[in-house]
Amino acid sequence: MSLSLAFFSLLFLRRAVSVGLCAVTVATGAQAAAPLPITALPPPVEAALARAKVPREAVSVLVLPAQGGGAPRLAWRAQEPMNPASVMKLVTTFAGLELLGPAYVWQTPVYIEGTVQGGTLRGNVYLRGQGDPKLVLERLWLLLRRLQGRGIQAIHGDIVLDRSAFIVTGHDAAQFDGEPLRPYNAAPDALLLNFQSVVMGWVPDVAAGVARVQWDPPLAGVQLPASVPLAPAGTACGDWHAGLRAELTDAARFSFAGSYPASCGERQWAVAYADPGAYAARAVAGMWRDMGGTLTGTVRNGTVPSGLQPAFIASSAALAEVVRDINKYSNNVMVQQLFLTLSWQQSGVGSMDGSRAVLQQWWRKRFGDADLPVVDNGAGLSRAARISAQALGRMLQAAWAAPVMPELMASLPVVGVDGTLRRSQSRAAGRAHLKSGSLRDVAAVAGYVHGADGQRYVLVALVNHANALAARPALDALIDWTARLP
């Protein structure tokens, strides 16, 4: 090798080494610039917890980039299994969207057995429930109206309700919190009508001295008072429910011993019916007769005869819309309907055990055996449900990258704007989509927050303590902290 060639070879080698060192320096600098995860709660959160008298050991928090692969920005006891309350609905709704698809609809077939002549059906009508979570009053009216549209005004036979698609046993509406008349304690049902609730509408009539009561749906065989006295003039609205002194535990007769303040204006009050097993039959019979139909037989439970084909099918809204109702307003019975549908779709019968198995299988396929949640009934209305912030955070990262992300995210309450978080005191109003959860000793939020750096962050915060509900300001402070991430 000539001296000149050796010189240039050595020069090239030195430059190459120099460029390599620069590259290492840049890479090391970039790595050093990446924020390290914070392993202590932010001071505003600590202060709010102290005011609520909730120890930091009762809290689990995880904040990490929604885009997968990024390190957590905040991790505090993130591996601890906690009761998530209604935040568990995120697991059920995401699984439902992936397993069933956002366009999935529930179908309620209607069968006509017999002959129709002169407006009279000589035979039976069958309604087969298949889990529709939102077969509410208006849609029941439309279903029966379609029946009348086939020339049927009188039924010389029975209306038979087939509820065999779901097996729900041992449900005690009073077991969870001793409030069996609260609509959130309603049991799922293959033929769930109007959430098994009775809605009372109150309209003051000052001239007559009464408040008129409208009942929806009209329940056949139940005595329902048409009015109650008005309270003395000038009575403040206050706790008007207590002032009515209602007796609603008798399934055959509702009564009121008190009065209604005119200052309340028009109000509504929804209660769960005291005999849920008889609700669907009473509602269908009452609605049919209210629409001018006649029935010589009864409305009863039964099954559709083999080989009988549907006369028509009533379809629900798409799952994407149902999921929005579930998460925005934390509807317990609707999400249990979805949960039971998972096993009904797989085996032809919906059951809690079957749906737990389906959901666990989905979780293992998606995330492996680690951090397997205890979903119980899929709604979070449970003392047994458990999931860690780490598991929920991983799931929300996966959801962000999933095809159904738009449907799931759009279903979450917008902080300070709508749903269960419309009254949130967070300063990040409009910048966070979060599912909230509340039980007697649980407060939780989980979802997505838009940070100051333009990124979306997954936020999961779970509080399990006797003073958990007083820790809501701490959760708001955590939302604010996440929204300010640079």
| Predicted confidence (pLDDT) per residue in 403-458, tens digit | 999 999 999 999 999 999 999 999 999 999 999 999 999 999 999 999 999 999 99
Task: Determine the Cα–Cα distance for residues 135 and 141; give it in Å rounded to an integer.
Answer: 10
Angle between helices 352-367 and 389-400 (to 10 degrees): 70
Residue-level pLDDT at 332: 96
Q: What stretch(es) of the chain map to CATH 3.40.710.10? A: 43-102+318-483
Which residues have a Cβ under 8 Å from the Cβ of 376 and sit 6 or more positions away?
Answer: 88, 356, 382, 384, 385
* Model pLDDT for residues 452-481, shown as the tens digit of each residue: 999 999 999 999 999 999 999 999 999 999
Confidence bin at 169 (pLDDT 50/70/90): confident
Residue-level pLDDT at 231: 97
On the question of pLDDT at 309 being above 70, the answer is yes
On the question of pLDDT at 318 being above 90, the answer is yes
Sheet arrangement for strand 227-229: 227-229, 210-216, 197-205, 267-272
Q: Phi/psi at 388 (nearest 5 deg)?
A: -95, 155
Whether 160 and 173 have beta carbons less than 8 Å apart is answered as no
Task: Determine the Cα–Cα distance for residues 48 and 481; give it in Å rounded to an integer.
Answer: 13
Task: Determine the Cα–Cα distance for residues 396 and 389; give it in Å rounded to an integer.
Answer: 10
Percentage of residues in the chain with pLDDT exceeding 70? 92
* Least trusted range by pLDDT, from 2-6, 43-47, 245-249: 2-6
Cα-Cα-Cα-Cα torsion 376, 358, 68, 458, nearest 10 degrees, comes to -30
First vs last C-alpha separation in the chain: 57
Q: Which two tokens stand for residue 381?
A: 């209305």
465: Cα within 13 Å, side-chain hemisphere: 19
Q: What is the largest CA-CA distance in the chain?
A: 118
* Model pLDDT for residues 44-79, shown as the tens digit of each residue: 999 999 999 999 999 999 999 999 777 899 999 999
Confidence bin at 34 (pLDDT 50/70/90): low
On the question of pLDDT at 18 being above 90, the answer is no
Mean pLDDT of the chain: 92
In the numeric block, the tokens 């039976």 are attached to 124
Mean pLDDT for the stretch of residues 93-115: 98
Out of 3.40.50.150, 3.40.50.970, 3.40.30.10, 3.40.710.10, select the CATH number for domain 43-102+318-483.
3.40.710.10
Residue-level pLDDT at 69: 73
On the question of pLDDT at 14 being above 50, the answer is no
* Model pLDDT for residues 121-133, shown as the tens digit of each residue: 999 999 999 999 9
Residue-level pLDDT at 8: 36
On the question of pLDDT at 167 being above 90, the answer is yes
Confidence bin at 174 (pLDDT 50/70/90): low
Please tell me the class of the 107-175+279-315 domain: alpha beta
Residue-level pLDDT at 424: 95
Percentage of residues in the chain with pLDDT exceeding 90? 87
Residue-level pLDDT at 7: 36
On the question of pLDDT at 13 being above 60, the answer is no
Confidence bin at 181 (pLDDT 50/70/90): confident
* Model pLDDT for residues 194-241, shown as the tens digit of each residue: 999 999 999 999 999 999 999 999 999 999 999 999 999 999 999 999
What's at 128, amino acid-wise? R
Residue-level pLDDT at 304: 98
Residue-level pLDDT at 32: 39
On the question of pLDDT at 11 being above 80, the answer is no
Residue-level pLDDT at 24: 34
Residue-level pLDDT at 184: 87
On the question of pLDDT at 84 being above 60, the answer is yes
Q: What stretch(es) of the chain map to CATH 3.50.80.20? A: 107-175+279-315
What's at 47, amino acid-wise? A
